[in-house]
Structures are given as C-alpha cells and as structure tokens.
Homo-oligomer: A and B are copies of this chain.
Amino acid sequence: MLPLRVGIAGLGTVGGAVLRRLTGDAAAIAARTGRPVQVTGVAARDRAKAAPLLGEANWFDDALDLARSPDIDVFVELIGGHEGVARSAVAAAISAGKSVVTANKALLAHHGLELAAAAEAQGVALAFEAAVAGGIPVIKVLREALSGNTIDRVCGILNGTCNYILTRMEAEGLGFAECLAEAQRLGYAEADPSFDIDGFDTAHKLAILASLAFGSAPDLDAIHVEGIRSITSDDLRAADDLGYRVKLLGVAQRTDHGIETRVHPTMVAKTTALAAVHGVTNAVAVNADAVRELTLVGPGAGGDATASAVLGDIADLARGSTVLPFGRPAALLEHAPRAPMQRHEGGYYVRLSVRDRPGSIAAIATRMAAAEISFESIMQRQPVAAPRGAEPGFVPVILITHATSETTIREALDAVEAGGTIAGKPQLIRIERN
C-alpha cells in the first residue's frame, strides 16, 4: 500500500517529537494503522537545527510551499498562532487538497468554522486532537465515542500552568506570586504568563470543546473569562476546611438561557474526580444523557504527550477516517444562543473583610436576605496571621451561598460594599456542583 506522505511545519518540542516518532517507530505505526506513514517534507525556522532529524524528508524554507507540495498527503501544522503563516499555510494545504493535522487551538478557536467548511468542500480532513488537553483524546471521545449522547456539560482543567500554581499554593500555603515565579523557574509558565494565568488559553480550548459538545460554531468571544491572579492562600485554606479545592475550570453547559461558556476559578468538592487532579495534569469531565459522567485525566502538554495526539490523528488518516472536523457539516453548526454570564446560576463562595464590631454580620446577612440569597455556611475566623494588606479592625468572613444568580449576588455585594461594613472588594469564587 502506498505510504501516507506527511509534511511537518514547525519543529519545536511537539514537531520534533512527532518527527522522531514517525521515523523511529515507522514499522510499529504501520502495523497499527495498516499503512506506512512517511515524513516527506519538513519546514521550520532553523534549517541547521533540523538537519540531523530530516532523514529522507525534503527541506522547505517556506511552510506555504510545503503545504502545497505535491509530495505530501497530510500537512501537519505545528507553527502556532491564529494568523500569519499558520493560518495561511493551513488554508493553502486545504485548497491544495491536503488533509491537515494541527495542534493550534487559537487557529481553531478563531477560524475553526471557516477552515472546517473549506476542508469539507475539498473532501479533506482537518484534525486537531492535539489542540485541546495535550495527550487526552477528548476530541475523539466527544466527536465519535459519545455520538449517541446528548451532552449537557463539558468542563475541565485545561491549563497545566494554572493547575500547577493552585496545587502548589494549596500544598505549601504559599502565595500566588511565589508559585508563579516557581512555575516560571521550572518552565511550566512563560516569562509573560498572562495567556495562561488570565484564563485565555483555557478559553481557546473551551471554545473548541463547546463546539464539539453542542454542535455549535466555535465562539471565543462568548466566553466569560477570569484567571487565577486574585486567588489567595486564605481562599485555598478556607476551601480545604469546607471540603473543596479551587481549580481553574473551563465550563460549557446547556442552560435554559442558552449555552453558557465560562472560564474562572471554581470550587469543586474534594470527592470529585477533578479535585484529585494535581500539578500540570489536565482533565476533562463530560456529562451526557446516556453515559452520565465520563472523566479523562492525562498530560495536558509536553512534546511527547502532544505528539501522541498528533500521531493519533495521522493514524486515523492512514486508516482512511472520514469524520468531519466538528463531527457534522459546517453548514449545520448552529450559532447557538449563548447564555450571558449575568444569568449564571450556582452557589458562591464569598470572602469578605468585615469590620470587627457588633452588627456587621447582621447588616450583611440582612442585605443578602433582601436579595433572597440563603447560606449553606457562614464562617468567621481569626486568621492565623493577619493576611498581607489586611485592614486592622477587620476580620475575614466566609459565606457559602445556596444557588443564586450572578446578577443577584453581584448586586447584593455591591450593596454590602456601599454599606461600609467591609474593607476592600469582596472575593467571589463560583462553586461547581457534582
């Protein structure tokens, strides 16, 4: 059988791992897919660095030339970025009738619909298992394995940097800044960490998951995004006392008001599978009508783990898979109504710095009662040491509310703030049940 000819654009950590495995494990991969897979072309920034890895593959100075080369069947895009070379090379490959495999979450989140339509029109594949949650095959599971299910919710720990920082803060009682610095030292966080810790990376991945789960077009702009900068070790300690852990989750769920997509720090009960996911590990939990709950846990990043996802996509192509990019024709992807964050309903963890005098709590409780917010628990305690920046004469009070709406709790807290019984801004962390 004629080999499947692969062109790889980008030889960073992931590209290098893909190339090494496709050449080093060629016989094993052929046995598993029934067809030889051969790297026939490579484009990357640094030819000298790439040279020792090239083998029989041809070198291309320009990824666009590789994308259009008659010597490849599959274009593997591992350049990154949602514009520039990555976008134009993927579009060129599709136009030239090549299937595309990519790890590029930003490209899919921004231009997924348009690229899927182009691939469909050309009768080629656009595969992106590696774009979400690294080595966890969540794309295949949502798109294929759960085809008999109506999916209600997908939520996940999709950013290893954030989960590492939160895990360390919890384990060591350290502050956010210290743990971020540590993550940077260890190579788990970028010098400019904003894309990860402010939730944007998670949002890109969530846009893709939501699209697959609900048969809707990727809609990055509809996602409510908050990062983890505001989380303190006090919050983690209180969470621990109350039976929770704090995780940065991406959540996409059906609600009565439309599809709700949100990224924010979340309290999850310690008994859940997500709470047990530590360090840089990723996890995705899916709730659906037939399977109920399915959780996948694995490495969210790293060259080899991400290469595993890329190779899985290539193997599907070698076997002649014909699954559409988002599991259904691009024309049928709905522009589903999106629920605004103000309509979100759930429980809330609220940490307030309350003036230490009689009547303070009563005043707060009265404001909350007026908004019909009821409490699961109220905890007032002396901090072991006064937290940095704590106002003298104020004590931390933690409220766990029963389900209420985002608008209701925000308005109630605004009223509390205006009432002058608290110092600073209230800390608010949403609670995710089950």
Contact = CB atoms under 8 A, between A and B. Distances in A.
Interface string A214-244: 0100000000000000000000000000000
A305 B292 contact: yes
A34 B328 contact: yes
A64 interface: no
Interface string A279-317: 000000000111111111111001011011111101110
Contact of A290 (B136, B291, B305): B305
Interface stretch (A21-29, A53-61, A187-195, A399-407): A21-29
A324 B34 contact: yes
B296 A28 contact: no
Copies of this protein in the assembly total: 2
A21 B141 contact: no
Given A21-B290, A291-B308, A322-B319, A215 B32 contact: yes
Given A135-B292, A308-B291, A148 B25 contact: yes
Interface string A29-71: 1011110000000000000000000000000000000000000
Contacts of A305: 290-292
Q: Shortest 7 CB-CB distances between A and B: which pairs?
A: A148-B311, A147-B315, A137-B145, A290-B308, A135-B291, A294-B298, A291-B308
A298 B291 contact: yes
Contact of A150 (B28, B141, B288, B290): B28
A33 B296 CA distance: 23
Given A34-B328, A321-B321, A322-B319, A149 B298 contact: no
A145 B25 contact: no
25 contacts: A21-B290, A25-B148, A31-B328, A32-B215, A34-B328, A135-B291, A136-B294, A140-B141, A140-B144, A141-B141, A144-B316, A145-B309, A145-B312, A146-B312, A148-B311, A148-B314, A148-B315, A289-B304, A290-B304, A290-B308, A290-B311, A291-B298, A292-B298, A293-B299, A297-B297
Interface of A: 17, 21, 25, 28-29, 31-34, 129, 135-137, 140-141, 144-150, 215, 273, 276, 288-299, 302, 304-305, 307-312, 314-316, 319-324, 327-329, 332
